[in-house]
Amino acid sequence: MRDLVADFTKHLAKAIEIGARTSFRNTDRKIENVLISGLGGSGIGGTIVSQLVAQEIKIPVIVNKDYSIPEFVNENTLFIVSSYSGNTEETLYALEAAEKKGAEIVCVTSGGKVESRAIEKGYNHIIIPGGLPPRAAFGLGFPQLLYVLNQYGLITNDFEEGIKDVIKSINSNDSEIKQQAKYIASSLKDTIPAIYTEASFEGVAIRFRQQVNENAKMLCWHHVIPEMNHNELVGWAGGSDKFSVIIFRNKTDFYRSQKRIDINKEIIKKHTSNITEVFSKGYSAIEKMLYLIHFGDWISVELADLKQIDATEVDVITGLKDELSKL
């Protein structure tokens, strides 16, 4: 897993190469909404994209992580299938439901049943390299969702330069990121981490939570500012040093949210002193998000090393899928 995390910028560069050469057939449909369907390491890309394009796209972008799909889906819905393996059970059910609704379907996958269905039905699709754990393929799959939206004329391709910039930033700060990640991991070990971000960066928190779960085999939770100030902050009255806090921040976060974070820290310090902040680098939202995601990925594998466990192993998920296959 360390090698796969280290390859993140290579994956992003490969993704640009794949996305830039992609050409879709045209459609006369008026796209009125977008539904991105995917789970786990494939689904997090949809969450990140929905937040990144919120200030640009003129139509709703919804993320679906279930067997079923919303009733609003129709022939004017752009339904994006995001399944790295191409065999995700829930996503295949959702795909079948979207077909019955007559949606405009696009598939992003490395193969499996999704690729077969896309070829059989003539759906627009993007095939990315396979053979990786889905969570380690984020850098390959996530950018393709942006390319899909661009192909349908829903966003510009400005994101491409942002990805190129973050590749340079991560590569130039590689040693510093690893060193800081190792230090932070040592403070999170043997605790239950609470992960916080501003609401517009929630995808970063979700990604880190998932990586801590899968790579470090640890329980943790996440919440966002300002919503957590209306509920969870009160719950910290029951906090203790068995909990740690990590806050992913941007110097450009809304000024009132920044003040909330500072006040939150003072309140939480009464119950645990284990509070860490990680600030992004970069200028655009996509640079900042990808920088923080990569930083979090390194923390998760450092945690796995400190616990002397295999970051790649997810036998419990495999076992669950085996049991479901018996139905």
Residues 6+ apart with CB under 8 A from 188: 212, 244, 246, 274, 276, 299, 303
- Is the CB of residue 122 less than 8 Å from the CB of residue 95? no
Residue 249 has pLDDT above 90, yes or no: yes
- Is the CB of residue 220 less than 8 Å from the CB of residue 320? no
Question: Average pLDDT for residues 265-277, to the nearest whole number?
Answer: 97
Report the C-alpha dihedral over residues 259, 240, 188, 200, rounded to 10 degrees: -30
- Is the CB of residue 79 less than 8 Å from the CB of residue 73? yes
Question: Would you tell me how many other CB atoms lie within 10 Å of the CB of residue 319?
Answer: 10
**Where do runs of H (alpha helix) occur along the chain?**
2-6, 8-20, 40-52, 89-101, 112-121, 138-151, 159-172, 174-188, 202-216, 232-235, 255-268, 285-307, 315-324
Q: What is the pLDDT of residue 318?
A: 82
Give the Cα separation of 157 and 274 in Å (integer). 41
Give the Cα separation of 258 and 255 in Å (integer). 5
- Is the CB of residue 195 less than 8 Å from the CB of residue 220? yes
Q: What is the pLDDT of residue 327?
A: 84
Question: Average pLDDT for residues 284-304, to the nearest whole number?
Answer: 97
265 is catalytic: no
Which of helix, strand or coil describes residue 152?
coil
Residue 115, amino acid: E
- Is the CB of residue 293 less than 8 Å from the CB of residue 58? no
Q: What is the pLDDT of residue 156?
A: 96
Q: What is the pLDDT of residue 98?
A: 98
Average pLDDT, the chain: 96
Q: Domains in the chain, ordered, with CATH? A: 2-157 (3.40.50.10490), 170-307 (3.40.50.10490)
Residue 258 pLDDT grade (very low, low, confident, very high; cuts 50, 70, 90): very high
Question: Residues 157-195: pLDDT tens digits?
Answer: 999 999 999 999 999 999 999 999 999 999 999 999 999
What are 236's two structure tokens? 């910290």
10 is catalytic: no
Task: Please give the helix or strand (H or E) that residue 248 lies within, else none.
Answer: strand 243-249
Q: What is the pLDDT of residue 315?
A: 84
Residue 322 has pLDDT above 90, yes or no: no
Residue 325 pLDDT grade (very low, low, confident, very high; cuts 50, 70, 90): confident
Question: Average pLDDT for residues 12-39, to the nearest whole number?
Answer: 95
Q: How far is CA 9 from the centre of its chain?
A: 16
- Is the CB of residue 144 less than 8 Å from the CB of residue 108? yes
Residue 17 has pLDDT above 90, yes or no: yes
125 is catalytic: no
Question: Residues 57-75: pLDDT tens digits?
Answer: 999 999 999 999 999 999 9
Q: What is the pLDDT of residue 29?
A: 93
Question: Average pLDDT for residues 83-97, to the nearest whole number?
Answer: 96
Q: What is the pLDDT of residue 40?
A: 93
Residue 321 pLDDT grade (very low, low, confident, very high; cuts 50, 70, 90): confident
**Active-site choice (214, 222, 281, 294):** 214
Residues 6+ apart with CB under 8 A from 318: none
Give the Cα separation of 47 and 253 in Å (integer). 19
**Active-site choice (30, 230, 251, 326):** 230
Question: Would you tell me how many other CB atoms lie within 10 Å of the CB of residue 313?
Answer: 15
Q: C-alpha angle with apex 301: 298 to 302, nearest 5 degrees?
A: 85
Q: What is the pLDDT of residue 317?
A: 85
